Amino acid sequence: MDLLSIDSLSDSQIATILDRSQHFFAANRAGRSTDALSGRILFNLFYENSTRTLMSFATAAHRLGASVVALPVDQSSVNKGETLGDTAHTLNAMRPDVLVIRHHDNGAADAVAAIMEAPVINAGDGTNEHPTQALLDAASLQHKLGKLGGVNIAICGDIRHSRVARSNAKLLPRLGAEVRLAGPPELMPDGAPAMTVDEAITGADVVMMLRVQRERLDSEFGDAPGEYLELYGLTAKRLANAAPGALVMHPGPINRGDEIDGAIADDAERSLITLQVEMGVATRMACLELMVGPTN
Ligand code: NCD
């Protein structure tokens, strides 16, 4: 099976991934690894920058006993004009057991999956989807709250460019959560219902902030120091309107003083940002086990 979109997962596959995420989270904390994927090879093919996703897929593979080969795209034949399709045919001929791809074009993971015989995982395609991020976010919330049913989650910021928001808006309601999307009108998808950040945060149990993806914008937006934070960012004043003890999430990377006040990101009581990173390894282990484990 491929993991290209939340839509491609059944309810029972989602339940298995979330359940196994908690198992691997505890095992990783105890320093236990397994050899379930011993002898298997994972290819990492990242055309866009990454710290968390790239490193956690590699760590997840190693914790399961698999080996990782990463293509340094900057030094690859991409710079000699090779197309994505030809690169996929080339990598397919090397017979990896699973390929993880991040790419700047929507649909790139689907295109590569149509060529590869091995399972393909979408680690973010343009502004489309980032399914393993949504899965690790759900697993983090389950870890912290026990369940997602009836939880109000405000996802705020650059919704227009966020594959994280798109995957979460599909996944979290399937688990019983209520999701509100909000941001500056310029950074909302066309036709999305208008809700201000303040409205979305009011009474929310969880506030998930998103970075302004300036690399995907053709013009400046809220670039003056402190301007974006003041108008749309997560400040102590805004967070005070959320439900008492509301939790704060962010997929990272954070831009301190832009979409989030640094002190809130560092607040160990409320911020799940580090938990999300730790759970990221566990959830990716769960995905790899399901897709390339011994039962496949
Ligand atoms: C996000 C991404 O690349 O989509 N980061 C991540 O994977 N944790 C969000 C972002 O870049 O702002």
User: Is 131 a pocket residue for ligand 1 (Cβ < 6 Å)?
Assistant: no
Band (296; pLDDT cuts 50, 70, 90): low
The confidence score (pLDDT) of residue 295 equals 65
- Domain 131-276: homologous superfamily in CATH: Aspartate/ornithine carbamoyltransferase (3.40.50.1370)
| Cα(294) to centroid(ligand 1), Å | 31
CA of 50 to the centre of ligand 1 (A): 8
How far apart are the CA of 24 and the centre of ligand 1, in A? 23
Q: Taking 90 as the threshold, does the pLDDT of residue 253 lie above it?
A: yes
Question: pLDDT-derived band of residue 150, with 50, 70 and 90 as boundaries?
Answer: very high
CATH of domain 6-130+277-292: 3.40.50.1370
Which pLDDT score, from 0 to 100, does residue 281 have? 98
Ligand 1 proximity of 133 Cβ (cutoff 6 Å): yes
pLDDT digits (tens, 9 = 90+) for 86-116: 999 999 999 999 999 999 999 999 999 999 9
Pair 42, 57: CB distance under 8 Å? yes
What is the residue-averaged pLDDT of the chain? 96
Pocket test for ligand 1, best of 52, 130, 208, 228 (most atoms within 8 A of CB): 130
Query: String of b and e for 70-104 (b: at least 16 CB within 10 Å)?
Result: ebebeeeebeeeeebeebbeebbeeebbbbbbbbe
Q: Which region, left, alpha or beta, applies to residue 28 given φ > 0 means left and ψ of -120 to 50 means alpha? A: alpha
Q: Is the pLDDT of residue 194 over 80?
A: no
Distance CA 69, CA 114 (A): 21
Cα distance between residue 272 and residue 11, in whole Å: 25
Q: How many angstroms does the Cα of residue 15 sit away from the middle of ligand 1?
A: 24
Mean pLDDT within 193-199: 89
Q: What is the DSSP string of 179-209?
A: EEEE--GGGSPTTPPP--HHHHHTT-SEEEE
Task: State the sign of the Cα–Cα–Cα–Cα dihedral 221, 253, 75, 287.
Answer: negative
Q: Is residue 163 within 6 Å of ligand 1 at its C-beta?
A: yes
Please write the tens of the pLDDT for every residue from 259-283: 999 999 999 999 999 999 999 999 9
Q: How far apart are CA 165 and CA 157, in angstroms?
A: 9
**Tokens 């998930």 sit at which residue?**
208
155 in Cβ contact with 188 (< 8 Å): no
How many angstroms is it from 167 CA to the middle of ligand 1? 12
**Amino acid present at 22:** Q
Q: Report pLDDT for 79.
A: 86
The model's pLDDT over 1-25, given as tens digits with 9 standing for 90+, comes to 999 999 999 999 999 999 999 999 9
Residue 252 Cβ inside 6 Å of ligand 1? The answer reads yes
- Ligand 1 pocket, residue 127 CB under 6 Å: no
Q: What separation in Å is there between the alpha carbon of 48 and the centre of ligand 1?
A: 10
pLDDT of the residue at 228: 95
Q: What is the maximal distance between C-alpha atoms in the chain? A: 56
Would you kindly state where each structural domain of the chain is located, as residue ranges? 6-130+277-292, 131-276
Closest atom of ligand 1 to 211 CA is: 12
Ligand 1 pocket residue status of 130, Cβ below 6 Å: yes
Distance 159 CA to ligand 1 centre (A): 12
Q: Which pLDDT score, from 0 to 100, does residue 252 have?
A: 97
CA dist 134 → 173, 257, 293 (Å): 11, 25, 21
Ligand 1 centroid to 280 CA: how many Å? Answer: 12
Q: Would 6-130+277-292 and 131-276 be classified into the same CATH topology?
A: yes
Q: Which residues contact 204 (CB under 8 A, 6 or more apart)?
A: 152, 153, 154, 180, 242, 243, 246
Nearest atom (ligand 1) to Cα of 252: 8
Question: Hey, which bits of the chain come out as E strands?
Answer: 41-46, 67-71, 98-103, 120-125, 152-156, 178-182, 206-209, 247-249
233 lines ligand 1 (CB under 6 A): no
Kindly report the protein residue whose alpha carbon is nearest to atom 12 of ligand 1. 211
Ligand 1 atom nearest to CA at 52:
8
pLDDT digits (tens, 9 = 90+) for 123-140: 999 999 999 999 999 999
Q: Measure the CA–CA gap between 1 and 252, rounded to whole angstroms.
A: 28
Category of 41 on φ-ψ map: left (φ > 0), alpha (ψ -120 to 50) or beta: beta
